[in-house]
Structure 1
Amino acid sequence: MPLSRNTIGTVFVGGALSVTLAALAYPSMLGIQNASTNQSRVIASTQWGPLTEADRNFVVFVRSAGLWEGPSGDLAMQKGTTQAVREAGRHLVIGHAALDASCRKIAPELNITIPNQPTPQQQGFLDTFKSDTGKQFDSDFANTLRVTHGSIFNTIAKIRSTTQNTLVRQLADQANDVVLDHITQMENTGLVNFTQVNNQETNPPKLPSSQATPPVPQPGAPMVTLTVPPGLPTDGVPTGPATTSSPSPSPSPTAG
């Protein structure tokens, strides 16, 4: 079963986001060849605890991922030739709508600028799905999304175990539930080529930053939101615990 005709790559290396970001500004690059020298560097003190580069990058990437994976789920519900593929699409739509709501909630509270469009690479995946038909769509959909969700899974665990920011920790809890469900849904299609998928996850191609960076949101542009279509049943779809805004119970360390 072939993987997507697009080269599948992620912006993760060794289970960690590979990024070079400055302060709280919008990320200038998210290419895998641009590894930050200190992901644990504190870039801000907040009432929810210190915010590190890795924390901020995680929020940005969860938002960016949803901007193409949510629409991919819509396509799967429309174009999937099997019930398993269509069901996987339903889970994507519902799960990423929940994660998107959390990202949009915590981003302004943490002073993080989030994207309004996916990266060019992610848009390429989505364009492939739009042009695919029949069994080719099913295969590309299941394998591409199994790679991307598998790649982020280890990063979620690392963020969850290291972050001192309660809002980021809650987002990681939620993402863990949602992403694990999506991995399972892709595998339930029976279309995943594990040999190729594992190779893509462990040996991702290097991408130029222009392909792995979400476009900067235009000033004044309305924020794109992911929502669940009216009438779409949400039963049986894990969405994880939503984030809350309770302040951290302990004083926030001074930013370094």
Structure 2
Amino acid sequence: MRFSRNAAGTLFVGGALSMTLAALAYPSMLGLNKVTTDEGRVIAQTEWGPLTEADRDFVVKVRAAGLWEYPLGQMAIEKGTTPEVVNAGEHLVDGHAALDASCRKIATLLNITLPNTASPQQEGFVTTIASKSGKEFDSELVNTMRMTHGSIFSTVAKIRATTKNTLIRQLANQANEIVLDHITVLEDTGLVNFEQTLHMQTSPPKLPEVDLTPPPPSGRQPQVVLTPPPTATSSPLVLPGESNPATKSPDPKQAPEAQQSPGPQVG
């Protein structure tokens, strides 16, 4: 196993692939003070059920994942050398755009602060992948994404099994479907090194919290929106009390909610 350090002294294990799992360790209460380590602690009573620290962590993790996996999907579409890698990129963009819209809806209702940019570690990871080309790019991207999706798959299952909040349950259902789809298309590339990815899933590197924490959003910045592709097949959640945009328009991605924020370019 290789060990190396970046200019800031951060330890990385086994190259870029080893960096990614730690990126899922988003701080549980962005913009708030964490007073316990009990993920089951109820932090708010809402009309959709109690909200726990673990519930709020989950919404933030899904949002944070999209902020770096969406641009990686764009890269796969542009730089992938096989139809299977390009297809995986298309699924990443499609799925994370839908999940992002759902997270923004739920965060507003539950008063959860969402990040607007990825963490320094996550942004560094995207930069590393962007520097690759050809078959090396394909392999690095596929194995990294398979490892991280495999890791968060168990998180989705745990939240789905334990949450008492209706909105969180809906998001977990959607995330379960999309993450499984992403795992499938990544494996369909034929590039997954299961020995390496499964080892990294069970033995994640330990990195300083400062490298794993996305900065809180600035009030001067518009909220980042991950724009759905023209050929999108995934849709944001229809929450209680909402009408389904698909019943009003042949293109559900043109619903007003998705157009309220200017949506800076991502990637």
Change over 3 Å in CA distance of 1:38–1:194 after alignment to 2 = same
How many percent of aligned residue pairs carry the same amino acid? 55
Tell me how far apart the structure 2 counterparts of residues 18 and 140 of structure 1 sit (CA, whole Å).
Answer: 21
Contact 1:62 1:103 in 2 (8 A): yes
Aligned to 2:60: 60
Tell me how far apart the structure 2 counterparts of residues 140 and 157 of structure 1 sit (CA, whole Å).
Answer: 26
Corresponding position: 1:210 with 2:215? no
Tell me how far apart the structure 2 counterparts of residues 123 and 18 of structure 1 sit (CA, whole Å).
Answer: 14
Aligned positions, number:
229
Secondary structure in 2 matching 1:199? helix
Tell me how far apart the structure 1 counterparts of residues 33 and 123 of structure 2 sit (CA, whole Å).
Answer: 18
Query: Deviation of residue 11 (structure 1)?
Result: 4.3
Matches within 5 A, 1:113-128: 113-128=113-128
Aligned to 2:19: 8
Query: Deviation of residue 211 (structure 1)?
Result: 1.3
Query: Deviation of residue 121 (structure 1)?
Result: 1.9
Change over 3 Å in CA distance of 1:211–1:18 after alignment to 2 = closer
TM-align CA RMSD: 2.3
Corresponding position: 1:148 with 2:124? no
> For residue 195 of structure 1, what is the amino acid of its counterpart?
E
Q: Which has the higher helix share?
A: 2
Tell me how far apart the structure 2 counterparts of residues 112 and 137 of structure 1 sit (CA, whole Å).
Answer: 35
For structure 2, the 5+ residue unaligned runs are 3-13, 243-267
Aligned to 2:41: 41
Aligned to 1:244: 239
Greater alpha carbon shift after TM alignment, 118-127 vs 94-103: 118-127
Secondary structure in 1 matching 2:43? strand
Secondary structure in 2 matching 1:43? strand
Tell me how far apart the structure 2 counterparts of residues 94 and 19 of structure 1 sit (CA, whole Å).
Answer: 23
Matches within 5 A, 1:197-236: 197-230=197-230, 233-234=231-232
Cα deviation per residue 1:136-194 (whole Å; 9 max; x = unaligned)?
10001100101111110000000001001100100000000000000111111111100
TM-score by length of 1: 0.83
Contact 2:167 2:239 in 1 (8 A): yes
> For residue 68 of structure 1, what is the amino acid of its counterpart?
W
Tell me how far apart the structure 2 counterparts of residues 111 and 197 of structure 1 sit (CA, whole Å).
Answer: 35
> For residue 31 of structure 2, what is the amino acid of its counterpart?
Y
Corresponding position: 1:26 with 2:31? yes
Cα deviation per residue 1:28-61 (whole Å; 9 max; x = unaligned)?
79xxxxxx63100000001110000000000001
> For residue 79 of structure 1, what is the amino acid of its counterpart?
K
Greater alpha carbon shift after TM alignment, 219-228 vs 137-146: 219-228
Aligned to 1:196: 196
Aligned to 2:134: 134
Contact 2:76 2:85 in 1 (8 A): yes
Contact 1:99 1:175 in 2 (8 A): yes
Cα deviation per residue 1:95-146 (whole Å; 9 max; x = unaligned)?
0000000001110110000000112222122111211110110001100101
Contact 1:4 1:125 in 2 (8 A): no
Aligned to 2:165: 165
Contact 2:26 2:213 in 1 (8 A): no
Corresponding position: 1:94 with 2:89? no
Secondary structure in 2 matching 1:89? helix
Flag the structure with more relative contact order, 1 or 2, with Cα contacts below 8 A and sequence separation at least 6: 1
Contact 1:59 1:107 in 2 (8 A): yes
> For residue 161 of structure 2, what is the amino acid of its counterpart?
S
Tell me how far apart the structure 1 counterparts of residues 194 and 209 of structure 2 sit (CA, whole Å).
Answer: 28
Tell me how far apart the structure 2 counterparts of residues 161 and 243 of structure 1 sit (CA, whole Å).
Answer: 21
